[in-house]
Amino acid sequence: MTRLSNKSYQWQTLLSMSAYVALLLLVWPLARSVEGWAAKGLLALAPVLPMFYLFALMARRIRESDELEQRMHLVALGVATMLTAALSLIGGFLAAAHVLAIDGSVLIWVFPVMMAGYGITRSLLVRRYGGDMFACAGDAGIPAYVRALLVAVLMAAVAVFAYVKNDDQLWGVFAGMAAAFIVFAGLQLVRRQRKAALADDRAQR
């Protein structure tokens, strides 16, 4: 089997996320209106399908990595798991004490929290080892600012959908997330330009 390149992995990840968002916004709400447990269950679980593909993609990515990359992936996953478990435990105790009103829909956020913890931890580990987010020379993949902008577009799409549906809470959350990713994309672009300028200065010397 051909080794999965960084660019291919990133594009497939973004496409999986796009499919997840599309199914979550367009298909999942239909589960509340259809009759019959089979149809209701299929529609309710539709957004899970692209996530299963993403799980398999991540597993392949880790399997094909070298020992250092595998160590960083697994440490990041461990930290993300502990973070999610801690937040779940805190939320569970607060809900049991009736401090917070939490229903079953909060479980939808478990995977995004894990992925955020994984991504942040892995980026810190990569920097600690003096590397970039991509280990293979000549296979840099999609620039970080482009990926951040694409994620911002996804978040903005959810925010617009929530605004149309008059869901002020969801609108505020995703509008804020879209803005945060836009700021992050700007910072990454500035960082990229500074590194390019520094490399030009060194080449001229």
pLDDT in tens, 135-179: 444 455 788 788 889 888 988 988 898 888 887 777 887 888 889
Examine the pLDDT at 132 and tell me if it is beyond 60. Answer: no
One DSSP character per residue, the chain reads: -PPPPHHHHHHHHHHHHHHHHHHHHHTGGGGGT--SHHHHHHHHHTTHHHHHHHHHHHHHHHHTS-HHHHHHHHHHHHHHHHHHHHHHHHHHHHHHTTSS---GGGGGGHHHHHHHHHHHHHHHHHHHTT--S--STT---S-HHHHHHHHHHHHHHHHHHHHHTT-HHHHHHHHHHHHHHHHHHHHHHHHHHHHHHHHHHHHH-
| Amino acid of residue 157 | A
Tell me the per-residue pLDDT of 6-57, one tens digit each, with 9 for 90 and over.
Answer: 788 888 988 998 898 888 888 888 888 888 888 889 998 998 999 899 989 9
Separation between Cα atoms, residue 190 and residue 134, nearest integer Å? 19
pLDDT-based confidence at residue 188 (cuts at 50, 70, 90) = confident
pLDDT at residue 68 is higher than 80 = yes
Nearest to 43 by CA among 52, 25, 31, 33: 31
pLDDT band at 182 (very low <50, low <70, confident <90, very high): very high
Residues, the chain, total? 205
Tokens of 18: 């796009």
Distance CA 174, CA 158 (A): 6
How far apart (Å, rounded) are the C-alpha atoms in residues 122 and 115? 10
Question: In angstroms, rounded to a whole number, what is the distance separating the alpha carbons of residues 105 and 113?
Answer: 14
Q: Which two tokens stand for residue 99?
A: 């401090």
**Is residue 4's pLDDT more than 90?**
no
What are φ and ψ of residue 28, in 5° steps?
-55, -45
Quick one: average pLDDT of 72-86? 92
Q: Is the pLDDT of residue 86 over 90?
A: yes
- pLDDT above 70 covers a percentage of the chain that reads 93
